[in-house]
Amino acid sequence: MHERLSFYVKRDSVIHSLNPLTKVYLTLSLILITFTSPWYWTPHLLVLIAIIPLGLIGKVGVEFFKAAIRLILPAAGFLFLMQAFFQPLGEDVIFKFYFLDVTQESMMFAFRNAMRVFVMVSAFTFLLLTTHPSELMSDLSRRGLPGQFAYVIISTLQILPQMQAKAQTIIAAQRSRGLDTESSFLKRMGLLTPLIGPLVFSSLAEVEERAIAIEARGFTSKRPKTSLHQIPDTKFDSTLRGVLILLVILSIALKLWLS
Amino acid sequence: MAFVNLQNVTYKYPLTKTPVLQNINLQIQEGEFVSVVGPNGAGKSTLCYTLAGFVPHFFKGEISGSIEVAGMESSKSTLDEWVMNVGLAFQNPFNQISGAKYTVFEEIAFGLENTGVPRDEIKVRVDEAMRLTDITDLADRSPYSLSGGQQQRVALTSILVMQPKLLVLDEPTSQMDPIGTREVFSVIRKLAEGGMTVVMVEHKMEWIANFADRVIALKDGQILLEGKPNEVLTSDVLAENGFGLSRYTSTAREAKKQGLWKKENLPVTLDEAVKGFKK
């Protein structure tokens, strides 16, 4: 069984039954507010009042926690360290590390930026966990996104894992014929180069056949398209989207007004 | 007038030197099940593309002669119109999976969504088509997780669900086991009896003999022989031109040379061979 490139977790929750576009709005507004709000503690607060509750309501707490531990926290932590050490801010040195000074200001600055990144990546993770990519794309095409564009996004998500599997097959086949996999990294890279040709060219050849196949199924038909799945879009969705837009505008306005 | 009517069709791909199809004249009646045989490079797939409108609407190149299918004239119509009347499924099932869908059910519905069939009707038609080809149990699987034979069935079903008037199949059973092949042939036979016109490229001679109404033998882009399966598939012309014969035909041919096969006609299927040798 091939793995597919999707983080979607199928659950039965309020969040899952929201319109996909509402979830995109939610994600984007979280990010925008985090980056524009003039108040120092906004990112930290958003984690507490938005990211964590949303994960729980969406019943993806466990998956979210795993992603946070493995991916988001290390990235944010690294950013924190870099900025704490290298930001030449303030005078109030907390401690010295050889020639690097860590000041209270640089700590504060780094902490906020790390939290901003944490919120941004978390918001996207949350979107990916609760939104099926094909649902999002069919909702967007219903709203006027060109079908070709949606197709490119979705098929890439599906075809990349297939290409990966094919690359594995080619490597396994070459290995069984004595391809060197034990020597130094550089030497192996040199040996792998001839394998890339077949992979790329065979994939290109497939494109034509796939184009015929989807064309035979009316892909570029001029008729108005329909969709198998009914995508929910309730009054609540549109209200929520309105509120989110207002919050973003408010945040940007405050920032402009206060600075 | 014939349902499919090709008159003096000659076609050359943009990058080839010699024409792939040369002076093809072919008439097919509505509801007929025609099988096309021929060695590699004979132009079978190109003939399929021509019937399905992809030559010349998708592949450029030079074409002459007239092509009429289901009342449409090639030079006066668009690929969009052809797609609504002619269904095409071809050999490699992997490349026929759209990649846009996550389950087999959605995959089969893809063509109906594209052509604007209402939602409720889509569900009914997909269910019906999946029952026909016996893949109902695959409905929720990912199309990429299936075996080659299962993918071929999905590809075939994805076309059948669009209810084409002419069904063009290019080796649709190449990755199926004998049981799967028999089922697919029976389904296609049934559809032809229901009025669908079928053109099928196939190498499995025994199955053609059992199911098709007519056989066309293609070589080097020309129609070499045409007629009833039993006559064409046992003809000496085919044997001399490097066509693969069924194992029963080959055996009986050899036996005839040694005087062991007494009948006039050679067999194509096991049944015919058994009967012939008993006499």
Contact check, Cβ <8 Å, A222/B80: yes
The answer on A58 and A160 residing in a single domain is no
Which chain A residues touch B if contact means CB-CB below 8 Å? 1-2, 4, 6, 132, 134, 147, 150-151, 154-155, 158-159, 161-162, 206, 209-230
Between A144 and A244, name the one with better pLDDT.
A244
Mean predicted lDDT score pLDDT of chain A? 86
pLDDT at A259: 76
For residue B79, the distance in angstroms to the closest alpha carbon of chain A comes to 9
Poorest-confidence range of A186-190, A235-239, B90-94, B253-257?
A186-190
- Given the DSSP bridges, would you call strands B21-28 and B62-69 parallel, antiparallel or unpaired? unpaired
**Burial (CB count within 10 angstroms: exposed 0-12, middle 13-18, buried 19+), residue B59:** middle
- In the DSSP assignment, the letter for residue A131 is S
For residue B255, the distance in angstroms to the closest alpha carbon of chain A comes to 43
Residues of chain B positioned with their CB less than 8 A from the CB of A6: 102
Residues of chain A positioned with their CB less than 8 A from the CB of B58: 211-212, 215
pLDDT at A2 exceeding the cut of 50: no
Contact check, Cβ <8 Å, A225/B113: yes
The answer on A125 and A246 residing in a single domain is yes
pLDDT at A34 exceeding the cut of 90: yes
Residues of chain B positioned with their CB less than 8 A from the CB of A10: none
Q: What is the ipTM of this complex?
A: 0.90
Topology (CATH) of B4-245: Rossmann fold (3.40.50)
Partner-chain residue, chosen from B94, B99, B115, that has the shortest CB–CB distance to A218: B115
E-strand stretches of chain A:
93-97, 100-103
Partner-chain residue, chosen from A155, A224, A230, that has the shortest CB–CB distance to B100: A155
Residues of chain A positioned with their CB less than 8 A from the CB of B113: 225-228
Buried (b) or exposed (e) across A97-111, using 16+ Cβ within 10 A?
eeeebbbebbbebbb
The answer on A115 and A46 residing in a single domain is yes
The CA-atom distances, in angstroms, between B148 and each of A49, B166, B268, B271 are 50, 25, 27, 29
pLDDT at A120: 94
Phi/psi at B109 (5° precision): -75, -15
- Residue B85's SS3 state is helix
For residue B214, the distance in angstroms to the closest alpha carbon of chain A comes to 25
pLDDT at A4: 53
Contact check, Cβ <8 Å, A220/B119: no
Contact B268, B248 (CB under 8 A): yes
- Give the tokens for residue B142: 């990912």
The answer on A239 and A126 residing in a single domain is yes
Contact check, Cβ <8 Å, A215/B102: no
The answer on A79 and A63 residing in a single domain is yes
Task: For residue A142, name the pLDDT band (cuts at 50, 70, 90).
Answer: confident
pLDDT at A5: 57
The CA-atom distances, in angstroms, between A246 and each of A43, A143, B177 are 18, 22, 61
Number of domains in chain A: 2
B-chain residue closest to A215, CA distance: B83
**Burial (CB count within 10 angstroms: exposed 0-12, middle 13-18, buried 19+), residue B161:** buried
User: pLDDT digit string (tens) for B5-24?
Assistant: 999 999 999 988 999 999 99
For residue B83, the distance in angstroms to the closest alpha carbon of chain A comes to 6
- Residue B139's SS3 state is coil
The answer on A33 and A98 residing in a single domain is yes
pLDDT at A189 exceeding the cut of 90: no
Partner-chain residue, chosen from A161, A210, A219, that has the shortest CB–CB distance to B114: A219
Residue A6 lies in a domain: no
pLDDT at B86: 96
Mean predicted lDDT score pLDDT of chain B? 93
Task: For residue A1, name the pLDDT band (cuts at 50, 70, 90).
Answer: very low
The answer on A184 and A94 residing in a single domain is no
For residue B91, the distance in angstroms to the closest alpha carbon of chain A comes to 10
Residue A186 lies in a domain: yes
Residue A15 lies in a domain: no
Rounded Cα–Cα distance for residues A219 and A111 (Å): 50
Interface test with A, best of B88, B98, B161 (most A CBs within 10 A): B98
User: pLDDT digit string (tens) for A74-121?
Assistant: 989 999 988 888 877 777 777 777 777 788 888 888 999 999 999 999
pLDDT at A89: 76
- Cβ of A128: how many Cβ atoms within 10 Å? 20
A-chain residue closest to B45, CA distance: A209
Residue A28 lies in a domain: yes
Residue A5 lies in a domain: no
Closest among B70, B86, B74 to B21, alpha carbons compared: B74
Between A111 and A171, name the one with better pLDDT.
A111
Q: Which residue has the tokens 């707490």?
A: A61
- Residue A116's SS3 state is helix
Partner-chain residue, chosen from B54, B88, B106, that has the shortest CB–CB distance to A228: B106
A-chain residue closest to B113, CA distance: A226
pLDDT at A186: 81
User: pLDDT digit string (tens) for A146-155?
Assistant: 888 888 888 8
Residues of chain A positioned with their CB less than 8 A from the CB of B95: 206, 209-210, 213
Across the range A169-197, mean pLDDT stands at 78
A-chain residue closest to B159, CA distance: A217
The answer on A189 and A63 residing in a single domain is no
Angle, CA A24 vertex, CA A19 and CA A25 arms, to 5°: 95
Angle, CA B255 vertex, CA B252 and CA B261 arms, to 5°: 75
Residue A248 lies in a domain: yes
Distance from chain centroid for Cα A240: 22
Regions of chain B with pLDDT less than 70? none
Start and end residues for every CATH 3.40.50.300 domain found in chain B:
4-245
A-chain residue closest to B78, CA distance: A221
A-chain residue closest to B95, CA distance: A210
- Would the pTM of this model clear 0.90, i.e. be above it? no
Range of the domain at A114: 20-131+232-258
pLDDT at B126: 97
Contact check, Cβ <8 Å, B119/A228: yes
User: pLDDT digit string (tens) for B55-106?
Assistant: 889 998 999 999 999 999 988 999 999 999 999 998 888 889 988 888 999 9
pLDDT at A174: 80
Residue A2 lies in a domain: no
Closest among A196, A36, A35 to A121, alpha carbons compared: A35
Beta bridge partners of B168: B88, B199
Beta bridge partners of B12: B62
Partner-chain residue, chosen from B97, B114, B145, that has the shortest CB–CB distance to A1: B145
